[in-house]
Amino acid sequence: MNNPELEPSVEVAHLRRLLDTQPGCLMRLGADGTVLAANDAALALLGVTSGAQALGRDFADWVPPDQRDRWRAFAIGVAQGYPASIECDITAPSGDPHPTLFHGVPLSEHPDGVPSIAVAARAVSGQRQLEAAVVELEEQLRERDAERLTARERLAEAEACRRQQVETVAALEARLQEREAGSDEEGRLGQLSADLGARDEALAAADAARRTAEANCARALADVEQLQMALEAFAVRQQQVTAQMAAEQQRVLQLSESVASHEQAFARLEQREQDVREQRDALQARLDEALVTCQEREAALSRLETAHGNLAGGPGAAQGSVVLRVGREEGRK
């Protein structure tokens, strides 16, 4: 509630200080994009240290050339009475682009008569980094899936090899039994022994390959589970960031509405100040008129006193002069 005893100029200065120290970036731009006002946070976003470095400049100077057409279309649409939002980059003094989200609302009937819009801004580089991290994790998950599939294929190949070796061993044992039953020749027994040794080596190699494939598959599965857990954590974080962005957008819209209401309050306070000045000027004019009237009346009484003294003369004239002076003093009172 406004204090009725507070001077309008003091209240206007207080409201302007509140807007300048707001943590959110607030700006007033002309319909052509000229910067008309900016608070401290907005000046920091633009990379300048004082309002003189930004006021009067085209805001498109801070927007990359390939995005200026979109920016100007946004500013023109808002100036025509359509609140809107846009995301584009701001070029810092170092030349690095900073992704920024803008919300704009039109400002009508401003005291200075200049068509303008109120713009709130917020950097969104943190959201971009989070999205890039999620994309990288998804790529790693796809790579782990491919490794797990490869490990499973190798395990299947090792299992097939093991089955083949088992079949070979069974065939060799059958041959050995046949040869033991039909002949006791040492040469054939030696050959069969060699075949059995080769069988054992093949079985050992197959078992080693199978164990290696199982270990690789287990590691791949563990990596996939870890990546899935990390992805779920990032998904939760992304939902939180999205909720924060929605809340921030709502707060920015409220700040924009607050800017519009403050502008209207400025207009009413300046009108009150103008009315007070007009009343003071009118009272001063009346006082000047009263002073002129008193001066004219005093001059007329002086002339009347002089004329009376000249006409009457003698003691009676002096007495009349005294009477006129007394009447003049009573008239002053």
Distance CA 131, CA 137 (A): 10
Which pLDDT score is estimated for 1? 44
Pick the CATH number of 8-123 from 3.30.470.20, 3.40.47.10, 1.10.10.350, 3.30.450.20: 3.30.450.20
Beta-carbon contacts of residue 192 (< 8 Å; ≥ 6 apart): 172, 175, 176, 179
Range(s) for CATH 1.10.287 in the chain? 130-247
**What is the reported pTM?**
0.43
The three-class DSSP label of residue 56 is coil
Question: 130-247 in CATH: which number?
Answer: 1.10.287
Element (H, E) at 321: helix 314-332
Q: What is the pLDDT of residues 14-58, one digit of tens each?
A: 666 766 767 788 999 998 899 999 999 899 888 898 889 999 999
pLDDT digits (tens, 9 = 90+) for 61-99: 999 999 999 999 999 999 999 999 999 998 877 778 889
- Nearest of 75, 107, 121, 110 to residue 257 by alpha carbon: 107
Q: Between vectors from CA 16 to CA 51 and to CA 85, what angle results, nearest 5°?
A: 70
